[in-house]
Structure 1
Amino acid sequence: MAEDLDRPAIDIALLPEDGTTLPERLQPLLLGIEEEQIPFLFLPSSDQTSPDLVTRAYDAAVASRLSVGIAYSHDQIVVHYKNLAPDAPLFTEDVTTAKAIRIIGANAARLVKGVPFKL
């Protein structure tokens, strides 16, 4: 079944080498989003206009009907909100533990919900 790219969701910009899903080490990001009951969509690498991490996150936020986008590299995750300046993401976090990655996902979803972030 094809994904509905017009449905409200947090958009996650994928890396070209990851194909159509997140790498296993970043799966806690999805769990954090899901625990806050917010949907997400993957943006294939062909939909990205820049290899820069912050720009990819901003482009994902602009594409998202919920105005929140996420991009990642091998060692960082960036959460962006479309109403922020393109070069000023909301969060830039190092990829460390599964718990920290899950909290980043939850906080991206909490941005959508308008509730306080987890520490």
Structure 2
Amino acid sequence: MPIDTDKPSILIAVTTEDAFPTDLKPLLNGIEEEEIPVTTRVIDESTATERAYQAALASRLSVGLGFDDQEIVVHYKNLPAEQPLFRVNRHDTARFRALGANAARLVKGVPFKSLKD
């Protein structure tokens, strides 16, 4: 995924250039299904929530995602730093696609998909 800081896109925070795991591909699919561009950027913060918030601040679309071994977080720049919009357990792979779609739907201003079973 190329990094283009001038292109409006949802920003996914990674810890190193090659740190986007293949098991998160459904997350990208959910965003792309909603036709919103997505890019990655290295953001060096200690938690997924902090990375997601910094990504939201850096995104021209005001939406950022962060992840770690435990969770995936969707944040919006106008929310308090410690209160992300969505959190999904990293092992709950069935919800990744809907979480990605919801990040894109936040940009579009349309209703969210359910993250419940």
Identify which of 86, 102, 105 aligns with 1:107: 102
1:28 matched to which residue of 2?
26
Q: CA shift at 1:95, angstroms?
A: 2.0
Alignment of 1:1-119 (within 5 A): 3-16=3-16, 19-20=17-18, 22-44=20-42, 48-119=43-114
Q: CA shift at 1:6, angstroms?
A: 1.5
Hey, what's the Cα distance between the residues in 1 that align with 2:34 and 2:55? Answer: 19
Runs of 4+ in structure 1 off by over 4 angstroms are none
Q: Which amino acid aligns with 2:21?
A: P
State the Cα deviation string for residues 39-96 of structure 1 (Å, max 9, x = none).
011012xxx2421211110000000000000000122100000000111100111123
Hey, what's the Cα distance between the residues in 2 that align with 1:49 and 1:23? Answer: 17
Hey, what's the Cα distance between the residues in 2 that align with 1:72 and 1:14? Answer: 8
Which segments of 5 or more consecutive residues in structure 1 lack a partner in the other structure?
Answer: none
Q: Which amino acid aligns with 1:74?
A: D
The alignment of Structure 1 onto Structure 2 pairs a total of residues equal to: 114
Change (3 A) 1:21 1:39: farther
Contact 1:21–1:42 (Cα < 8 Å) also in 2: no
State the TM-score, normalizing by the size of structure 1.
Answer: 0.88
Which segments of 5 or more consecutive residues in structure 2 lack a partner in the other structure?
Answer: none
Hey, what's the Cα distance between the residues in 1 that align with 2:6 and 2:23? Answer: 28
* Alpha-carbon RMSD: 1.7
Change (3 A) 1:3 1:84: same
Q: Secondary structure at the match of 2:4?
A: coil
